Amino acid sequence: MTMQGVQAARAAFSFPVRVYYEDTDAAGVVYYANYLKFMERARTEWLEALGYPLAAFERAHGVAFVVRRAGIEFLLPARLNDRLDVTVEALARGASRIELEQKVLRETTELAIARITLACLDTSRWRPTRMPAPLAATLDAGAGTTLRAQRPSRGAPEFPESKEQETL
């Protein structure tokens, strides 16, 4: 485990994204599925910042990380040419999973918030397996009070109720 990896795990990670024409729909706003693409890129870069280039790490350990659950609340639209930041913060870790919170921000304004659960799979059997020890140790060492080991929740992701939902 590198000191750089521990420092990266301690803080919420941020990845810059610029909205291109290809990211938008006919209304001129980012198509909802593209937020998932932005978040995927941020998670890949987050692992790289922790010291674990994803493709090499998965090959070396015979594992793959897959999205087990994704819950997203869309708050405000992103538009063509917006400069966004996509954050990754580890919330909890189990033996074979990581629970993350990801946000898409325009400056300090939250546009989307997601709760993502990744499962670690053995690529020879495509069954859940323990997370490789080096990554687990980095997450545990860098987490402080943010990351805690816990059993997976079975319910839907919880998000704070928005004012718009109260009026519906």
Look at residue 13 in the predicted model and tell me its pLDDT. Answer: 93
Active site members: 25
For the domain with range 3-145, which CATH number is right: 1.10.3720.10, 3.90.320.10, 2.60.40.1080, 3.10.129.10? 3.10.129.10
Residue with tokens 């300090």: 108
Residues 6+ apart with CB under 8 A from 155: none
Q: Per-domain residue ranges for the chain?
A: 3-145
Look at residue 12 in the predicted model and tell me its pLDDT. Answer: 79
Look at residue 85 in the predicted model and tell me its pLDDT. Answer: 97
Tokens for 157, please give them.
């992701």
- Between the alpha carbon of residue 148 and those of residues 9, 40, 65, 78, 167, the distances in Å are 13, 22, 19, 32, 35
Q: Contact at 8 Å (CB) between 121 and 127?
A: yes
Q: Write the DSSP assignment of 15-47 as a string of letters.
A: EEEE--GGGB-TTSBB-HHHHHHHHHHHHHHHH
Please tell me the distance from the alpha carbon of residue 150 to that of residue 153, in angstroms, as a whole number. Answer: 9
Q: What is the pLDDT along the chain (168 residues), one digit of tens a residue?
A: 444 544 455 557 999 999 999 999 999 999 999 999 999 999 999 999 999 999 999 999 999 999 999 999 999 999 999 999 999 999 999 999 999 999 999 999 999 999 999 999 999 999 999 999 999 999 988 743 243 334 444 444 444 444 443 333
Q: Output the CA angle 13-77-15, nearest 5 degrees.
A: 15
Look at residue 150 in the predicted model and tell me its pLDDT. Answer: 40
Look at residue 11 in the predicted model and tell me its pLDDT. Answer: 59
Q: Contact at 8 Å (CB) between 88 and 13?
A: yes
